[in-house]
Structures are given as C-alpha cells and as structure tokens.
Amino acid sequence: MKYYIFFVLLLVGGYKLGKLIIEGKTKQVFDLPDIAGHCLLLNKDRITAGDGVKAHDMEGKAAISNQTNAKVFEILKSAGIKTAFVEMVSPTAFVSKKCDMVPIEWVTRRLATGSFLKRNPEVPEGYRFTPPKQETFFKDDANHDPQWSEEQIISAKFNVNGLLIGQDEVDYMRKCTILVFEILEKAWALRDCALIDMKIEFGVDTEGNILLADVIDSDSWRLWPSGDKRLMVDKQVYRNLTNVTAADLDTVKRNFGWVKDQLDYLKPTIHHKVVVFMGSPADQEHCQKIAKAARDIGLNVDLRVTSAHKATEETLHIMRQYEDTHGALVFIAVAGRSNGLGPVLSGNTSYPVINCPPPSDKLVQVLKYFKLLLFM
C-alpha cells in the first residue's frame, strides 16, 4: 500500500500562511512564518451587527473593506500616525505588524447619535461635541462591550506584548484617537461628508510600540453626506434593517463601494509649502532643524535667505511668489538681533507667520532671569 502525503501550502498574495492566530466575525488573522513580527489579515465576505447576532454573507464585501481600509491607513500614515498597516497584498488581504491587541474600542463622536443617546437620553440627537467626545468600551461581545472609564482601563493593568497599559499609554491612545478622528473628519469634509463618529483599536507590536491597528472601514464610522442623516452611507443602514432582503444587502454594498471610491479624492489637491525665511546664512543650522521636523511629518519645505531690514522689497517679492503659487502656506521667520523679519512678513500677508528667532546665549540668560523671577 502506498501512502501519499499531500502538503497543502496556503498562499495569499504570494505570502506563505502560517497558523491561524485568531478568527473574528469579519476577519481571519494568519501568522506569516517568513516575515518575523508580521501577520496577514484576510477579510471575509460577511457583514454582522449587534455583536454578531445579526449576520449575512455579502459577496464582494471583503474586497471593498480591504481597499477601504488600505486607503484610510495610507491617509493616516502620510499624516504621521504610527500604524500597524504595512500593505495590501491581495484583493481581500493585507499585511500588518503582528500585534497583541489592547482590548478596548476607542470611540470619538462629533455629533450625538446612536448608543450615546440611549445612555444619555436627555441629550438631543445632533448635539455637537466641541472638542469631540471620547468614549472607551471594553471589547467583550458576551457582555455587549460595556463602557469603561479611564480608571477601569488603568486598573485592569493590561499586559499587552509585555507593555503594561498605565496612565501614559492611555494618554497616548486618547491623543492619537482624537488626531485620527480630526484627520479623517477634515479629509471627508473635502467631499462634503460629515464624519459623525468612529471607533478604532490599538495593538502593541513585538517591539513594544503602541500602534493604531485592526481596520478602519465602513463598519468603523458613521458618515453622513452633506451632514444629512437620511443620506447615511455606513453600516448603520444595515443595523436599521429588520427584514434583510437581497435588495437591502445590495444597497448596503453599493454604499460601501461608493465610500471606497470617494477615498481616492480625499487627498488635499492644493499645493502646500512651509517657507523658512532666514535673515542670514548664519542661521542655517537652526533652520535645518526646523525643516527636518516639518519634513518628518510629511510637509514640503523651502529655505530662503533674505534680510527684512536690508532688502525689504526682495523679501516681500519672494513672499508674493509663494502666495501666488501655493494654496496652503506657512511662513517661518528666523532672524536674530533686529528680529524684524517676522513682523515684516506678518504685516504684509494673510498667511500665518511663525516667528522663531535662533536661540542665543543672551536669550538663555534672559529666560533664566525670568525663571528666577517666577519662582522667587
């Protein structure tokens, strides 16, 4: 008798899959044995609501979710957010840094709606939160993801990939959550869509970094075109269905597809520039530090040498040229001694001017003197 041993090598997007690490309602997470510290997330053609109580197959949803997520994470990465997302590797899969997940859903709301109204019945729908409202929920389907306070999160002493989640870690995730919301809110505003609320999750990678992880897709937010609730294009349409027909599922899928396509237009089209004016080439070193900091967060930077008191007309001419060709501008003025550059620029432009004179020994002495006065 002959025995044949078949090895089934599962490949997705050219990647050899290792063991299934975890399977949730809408995704499977696979180990990638050939790339240390990474995993592959495979989306399912499945839509669920109410902690999985309501669930339907939806052909094509995995591909739409996968592309939506990839486009959103590219926007966030280009804005400097530290994320686990690496790249899309097949129509329905992407590679991510392998994380242990912080079991908290971080929710941000601009307008009151949905579950917030159930928990705060006195608040009218549409109440506007300024700054956006933050809420945290412990991920626990069996208990319907209970709302948790900051104190509960810290007291739980979560150890995630060796990192103890304490006050500093919670502070970081809070700040990052608001930033993510504000970036996407501004991006969606370019298409006249109001981002009403959204949820994100964080993970800790194998090196102990807290990263924005999981996915952001049409399941993660409420999105109202023209700020009109009746035009909603997010998963709420599915949540609201009592009898789910094939036509209903088609509508939901069409909405998700529309959102995925709109994301291509969310990149600002106006040219931006940070122009660092320096009064003298002697300030070059200080200006390079400013330029590096700006470039590190993805900004375009020019350095120009011009003296406001020796060559005022030339300074203003350079400024006018930038005003003519760029839609979004910030001028940074670096000049010692007379320190007239900043005021000359700001007195002649409607764009923001940041006055940033180079540090000098004298300045340090003055600051020390101030400190002395303050703490006497």
Ligand X SMILES: Nc1ncnc2c1ncn2[C@@H]1O[C@H](COP(=O)(O)OP(=O)(O)O)[C@@H](O)[C@H]1O
Per CB under 6 A, residues contacting ligand X are: 22, 24-27, 29, 39, 41, 84, 96-99, 101, 201, 203, 213-214
By C-beta, is 197 or 201 nearer to ligand X? 201
By C-beta, is 108 or 220 nearer to ligand X? 220
Q: Phi/psi of residue 41, each to 5°?
A: -105, 120
**Is 68 within 8 Å of 260 (Cβ atoms)?**
yes
Residue 280 CA to residue 127 CA, distance in Å, equals: 52
By C-beta, is 36 or 247 nearer to ligand X? 36
DSSP state of 299: -
By C-beta, is 65 or 315 nearer to ligand X? 65
By C-beta, is 41 or 49 nearer to ligand X? 41
Smallest separation (angstroms) from ligand X to the CB of 124: 31
Q: What angle separates helix 61-78 from helix 246-262, to the nearest 10 degrees?
A: 20
Residue 340 CA to residue 150 CA, distance in Å, equals: 47
Smallest separation (angstroms) from ligand X to the CB of 159: 16
By C-beta, is 83 or 306 nearer to ligand X? 83
Smallest separation (angstroms) from ligand X to the CB of 38: 9
Residue 269 CA to residue 281 CA, distance in Å, equals: 33
Residue 202 CA to residue 179 CA, distance in Å, equals: 14
Smallest separation (angstroms) from ligand X to the CB of 252: 17
By C-beta, is 88 or 301 nearer to ligand X? 88
Cα dihedral 336, 337, 341, 343 in deg (nearest 10): 120
**Is 335 within 8 Å of 341 (Cβ atoms)?**
yes
Q: Phi/psi of residue 22, each to 5°?
A: -155, 145
By C-beta, is 27 or 326 nearer to ligand X? 27
Smallest separation (angstroms) from ligand X to the CB of 321: 46
Handedness of CA 182, 185, 188, 191 (dihedral sign): negative
What's the Cα-to-Cα distance from 165 to each of 105, 138, 210, 245, 252, rounded to whole Å?
14, 14, 10, 44, 37
By C-beta, is 84 or 266 nearer to ligand X? 84
Whose structure tokens read 């020796």? 310
By C-beta, is 84 or 353 nearer to ligand X? 84
- Could you tell me where the DSSP H helices lie in the chain? 61-78, 115-119, 150-155, 167-189, 236-239, 246-262, 284-296, 312-325, 341-346, 361-374
Smallest separation (angstroms) from ligand X to the CB of 14: 19
Residue facing ligand X at closest CB distance: 24
Residue 99 CA to residue 335 CA, distance in Å, equals: 47
Q: What angle separates helix 167-189 from helix 61-78, to the nearest 10 degrees?
A: 110
Smallest separation (angstroms) from ligand X to the CB of 237: 19
217's CB contacts (< 8 A; 6+ apart) are 64, 65, 68, 69, 72, 256
Smallest separation (angstroms) from ligand X to the CB of 266: 23
Smallest separation (angstroms) from ligand X to the CB of 205: 8
Q: Phi/psi of residue 353, each to 5°?
A: -125, 125
Smallest separation (angstroms) from ligand X to the CB of 23: 7
